[in-house]
Structure 1
Amino acid sequence: MSAAARVGDPTGHPGTVAPPGVTSVLIGGRPAATVGTPHHCAAPPPATHPPSTVIGPGSATVLIGGARAARVGDRAGCGSAVVSGCASVRIGG
């Protein structure tokens, strides 16, 4: 099981899981991230690219707001993975 991803959690090169997430579900006080949650990549030029979303794979067994829950290790459309999440909330599947 992996730590739950939330809005504001860091991704690999560098970036963050971006708002809004699922605002009705708070994990560690922040909105939950799901497959489809925006991702903002802050890589400096010339490596910049258009905004993307978390594409997963996400959890096959845990849905938040009808979408697969995102976890540490899930990737954004640019290939960057979520590198840290809420250590006290683990999501399997």
Structure 2
Amino acid sequence: CRAEMPSMQRAWEQLQKEGIVMLGIDVGESEDTVLQFTANYPVEFPLLLDQEAQVTGQWPVVGLPTTFVVDTEGRISYRAIGGREWDDPELLDLVRALQR
């Protein structure tokens, strides 16, 4: 998660201009822990807390970090397990293509 945050922020800076929504979900940590984390790794996209892993338990998460691209119908169109450089042009193009 720490390693991905800078590239996720850069990706969000590009994608949000195109109307693509990006959310981060923190699993199992306190609000204070997340606030300390974001002080060191600032992001502008929304971060949601799932302290009891209720939301996460409804998705096919098999490891962290897991990233989903969800289409406008709410269907998972892509799942990435493990870290990525989300501002990589090929990944950004993939995300854009999946949203069409």
What TM-score results when the alignment is normalised by the length of structure 2? 0.28
What TM-score results when the alignment is normalised by the length of structure 1? 0.29
Choose between structure 1 and 2 for higher RCO, CA contacts under 8 A separated by at least 6 residues. Answer: 1
Instruction: Give 1 or 2 for the bigger CA radius of gyration.
Output: 2
Normalized per residue, the structure richer in helix is 2
Normalized per residue, the structure richer in strand is 1
